[in-house]
Amino acid sequence: MEEKKITSLEGMAIINEMIQRSKTRRFIGDGNILLMWGYLVVGVAALVWILIDLTHNPAMNWFWYLIWIIGGIATPIMARKRREKAGVTTYADKIGNAVWTTVGLSAFALTLICLGFFLFSGTDTWSSMLMLPLLIVGFAEIVQGVAIREKSLIWGGGIGIVSGLVTLCCIAGGIALYAGWFMPMFIMSFALMMILPGHILNYKSRKER
Amino acid sequence: MKELDPLLHSQLRLAVMSILMNVEEADFVYLKEKTSSTAGNLSVQLDKLSSAGYIAVEKGFVGKKPRTVCRVTDTGRKAFEEYVKDLRKLLNI
């Protein structure tokens, strides 16, 4: 393509062709951030579950913070690399960034609120930290799934929301979240919500290439 | 009949604007690949679009490699929409 005058018909053809060429919604490695978070959450949840089971020490719950520390450091690095590799930021990316930033900030705000309750009134509200990721991550996944038209994200997000609502009802109804049933549900939900769609996304983007 | 915007009524500049209208931002390498143009020619056309205020060009570095990122401005968006409207009128569609 070069700098040359064109007819009206050619003008219209160029516009159509460029829209076609730039309408790619998937890029190689799109599922990597999802996979990182999925394996991280599942790994840490399994670690906490095993440690609590072995030691019966609630202090092992502090290991949950590994998720925020590792994920918080890795995500911006991975997102920047992905952006540079793709060479383009689409409107779907913009929606995704806004939604996931909201998820991150909400989780951070809830941590501070729970800490506040614990420090100032001695009330244990930490179980809400188990409900929030399921609900809000599920919601974010559905938004992203709609934006990039990826059904596995929509289904995964739906499963997360249902698990989150079950957890919410248990908390509201005073039903104890025993590790024996809650941890497998939590781990399974994140595997279906992030790991499975992450691999599907990577497979599809490789195939499209 | 109204004359088509001469700045947009050119093969490569129109191609660049069409891509940028379709995405949030794109870098030089992406534009070069999608328009199948040469680096020199693309660079000249980007300068013309930027001088007219149709696109914003941001130059930075990724490690030691330079990276130029382009995005369409409100002026460019308006001009492109007007161009498409005029084109439709001309083609009776």
In angstroms, rounded to a whole number, what is the distance separating the alpha carbons of residues A83 and A104?
19
In angstroms, rounded to a whole number, what is the distance separating the alpha carbons of residues A62 and A109?
17
* ipTM entry: 0.88
Distances (CA, A) of A4 to A99, B82, B83: 42, 21, 17
Residue A21 Cα, gap to closest chain B Cα (Å): 6
- Please state which of the ranges A9-13, A28-32, A99-103, B12-16 shows the lowest mean pLDDT: A28-32
- Residue A91 has what pLDDT? 86
pLDDT confidence bin for A7, thresholds 50/70/90: confident
In angstroms, rounded to a whole number, what is the distance separating the alpha carbons of residues A65 and A111?
10
pLDDT in tens, A193-205: 999 999 999 998 8
pLDDT confidence bin for A125, thresholds 50/70/90: confident
Contact between residue A200 and residue A150 where contact means Cβ atoms under 8 Å apart: yes
Does residue A158 surpass a pLDDT of 70?
yes
Torsion angle defined by CA atoms of residues A171, A174, A179 and A185, in that order, rounded to the nearest 10 degrees: -40
Does residue A129 surpass a pLDDT of 90?
no
- Residue A2 has what pLDDT? 60
Query: How confident is the model over A22-28, as a mean pLDDT?
Result: 69
In angstroms, rounded to a whole number, what is the distance separating the alpha carbons of residues B9 and B48?
13
Question: Domain residues of chain A, as ranges?
Answer: 26-208
In angstroms, rounded to a whole number, what is the distance separating the alpha carbons of residues A195 and A46?
15
* Chain B CA closest to residue A2: B12
Q: Which positions in chain B touch A93 (Cβ < 8 Å)?
A: 24
The residue ranges of chain B whose pLDDT is under 70 are 1
* Chain A CA closest to residue B84: A12
Query: How confident is the model over A145-162, as a mean pLDDT?
Result: 93
- Residue A87 has what pLDDT? 85
* Chain B CA closest to residue A14: B15
Please tell me the CATH code under which domain B6-90 is placed.
1.10.10.10
- Residue A1 has what pLDDT? 63
Residues of B at the A interface, defined by Cβ within 8 angstroms: 4, 9-15, 18-19, 22-27, 29-30, 33-38, 41, 44-45, 62, 67, 83-84, 87, 90-91, 93
- Residue B63 has what pLDDT? 78
Give the rounded percent of residues in chain A with a pLDDT score beyond 90.
Answer: 53
